[in-house]
Structure 1
């Protein structure tokens, strides 16, 4: 298995389960409330670690109670936190409403926006030792750019999960080994809103693994041929964290080849939606192997 360094966000998720989503200005009664460690970076780190990768995290938490809890959880999951710093103020939080297997999310970045290029430079030796680097867009774009420069210098492949999506310059995309958007995110990243996968995927041959929920994932190979990894049929309970599970699994299994990694990632993402919570729903390696064997 690979050594994965995850550079990204670390949040506390405040999750309310409700019979439906409230309309603007409306108050409804919820059915359940849980506080769950999250953040795309931390989620992907936990997913990769549970699946057997050696994982280090580069990020920031606040000097608050949430920060203490978030560090403790990462360490409990076997993630190396030597490069997780403490920033003045609050840790990042995500306010999540779950209903009918779908979710709506408001993210307040907090300490995540204090992860700066200087922090990436301080972790250069760790980054240089990685087999795969995994990052997202819940940290400043300048920090992602600094990360890509260091990774290129050491010839370490970077998987960018471009969420929350924003238009990205061509030179930044060129430095990524892979990007892992959904269809909407891919259109946003490329500055072509409203276009679908048929026109978007050929624009970055060999670079994109596009996820599509229960329908699986697509990849246009460098030679222009299309590869589709079908989804796995499960009963969805909560889709929170499914994409992060996919990304963590993709990084963990990438040394076995991209298409093998996509199959494992699709299966891991499917397992994740059968349970409540982002990190809580992520499968262990043994669970993934049993699911795929069945």
Structure 2
């Protein structure tokens, strides 16, 4: 492409604090995606809120140093969000979450006007902008990370306005997935994979052009209303899985926006994820 793609990342941010290491790293789903889009060669911005504390200054500085546009970060009176994290056998384990000023984050009119100038907006289940999706989606495509929160009311509220929907299917979410599955009145299937596919078909019919479910070490599965897609993982040394899912989303979206098909974009997502899990912290 002659022009670099521009992605607007919107919503939550947090300081990932590793208690056992006494180390902290800036992060958060949309923040991570914005940084990874820049790493891949695109342009990105982050719109969200931080506190007027030391962590807020660290967050803004760190994002700016990665080349992400921070002109629409709101600095509010209070504390920046913090997520406590531990590493167990190379995998991240989330502990206490302190929401801080994100509880008061709302998009302003100037923020929405700014977002519409991008090629795509990306947010997630904790982004707190589901009410603004109808306005944004009229102008540009929307990508949404529903994580593993299948039964969250935001799923049904947001899904009609989403172009690219992402879910994370893992052991932790199996019970919640089953609850959501049964509440939708979907037919019983022999195994979890078939149930997941039935769920994805139902969700795709509610609005998204493409729906993707990441499956951890088992790769990912995608559906576009006509065809199913599968891709595994890129073998690599695992240091820290923090940011793995966000890396996949960024790689997938960067591929799609640059003209790749769904299958090749899933591979691009896996390749980008393999880079991230090879080092400590999200970025």
Pick the TM interval, shorter chain: 0.7 to 0.9
Is the contact between residue 134 and residue 251 of structure 1 (CA under 8 Å) also seen in structure 2?
no
Is the contact between residue 166 and residue 212 of structure 2 (CA under 8 Å) also seen in structure 1?
yes
Paired residue for 2:79? 90
Distance change in 2, residues 1:250/1:145 (3 Å): farther
Paired residue for 1:215? 218
Structure 2 residue matching 1:57: 3-state secondary structure = strand
Q: Does 1:49 align with 2:38?
A: yes
Q: Does 1:272 align with 2:260?
A: no
Matched residues in 1 for 2:216 and 2:196: separation?
A: 14
Paired residue for 1:149? 134
Distance change in 2, residues 1:171/1:95 (3 Å): closer
Paired residue for 1:9? 12
Matched residues in 2 for 1:169 and 1:235: separation?
A: 34
Paired residue for 1:170? 156
Is the contact between residue 100 and residue 237 of structure 1 (CA under 8 Å) also seen in structure 2?
no
Q: Which moved more, 1:243-252 or 1:56-65?
A: 243-252
Give the 5 Å matches for 1:76-87.
76-87=65-76
Give the 5 Å matches for 1:99-138.
99-105=88-94, 106-116=96-106, 119-138=107-126
Matched residues in 2 for 1:164 and 1:11: separation?
A: 18
Aligned residues: 258
Q: Does 1:67 align with 2:56?
A: yes
Matched residues in 2 for 1:174 and 1:96: separation?
A: 33
Deviations 1:122-169 (A, max 9, x none): 2122211111111012233xx2221x1122221x11110013622335
Paired residue for 1:245? 247
What RMSD in Å do the two structures reach over aligned CA positions? 2.2
**TM-score, with length taken from structure 1:** 0.81
Paired residue for 1:203? 202
Q: Which moved more, 1:71-80 or 1:102-111?
A: 102-111
Structure 2 residue matching 1:222: 3-state secondary structure = coil
**TM-score, with length taken from structure 2:** 0.84
Distance change in 2, residues 1:128/1:50 (3 Å): same
Offset at 1:244? 1.3
Distance change in 2, residues 1:181/1:100 (3 Å): same
> Which sections of structure 1, spanning at least 5 residues, go unmatched?
17-29, 280-294
Distance change in 2, residues 1:175/1:111 (3 Å): same
> Which sections of structure 2, spanning at least 5 residues, go unmatched?
183-190
Matched residues in 2 for 1:86 and 1:68: separation?
A: 9
Offset at 1:236? 1.4
Matched residues in 2 for 1:126 and 1:239: separation?
A: 32
Offset at 1:253? 2.4
Deviations 1:192-245 (A, max 9, x none): 27964233222234431110112221111221x211122111221211111111
Q: Which moved more, 1:127-136 or 1:59-68?
A: 127-136
Offset at 1:97? 0.5
Matched residues in 2 for 1:104 and 1:33: separation?
A: 15
Offset at 1:41? 1.9
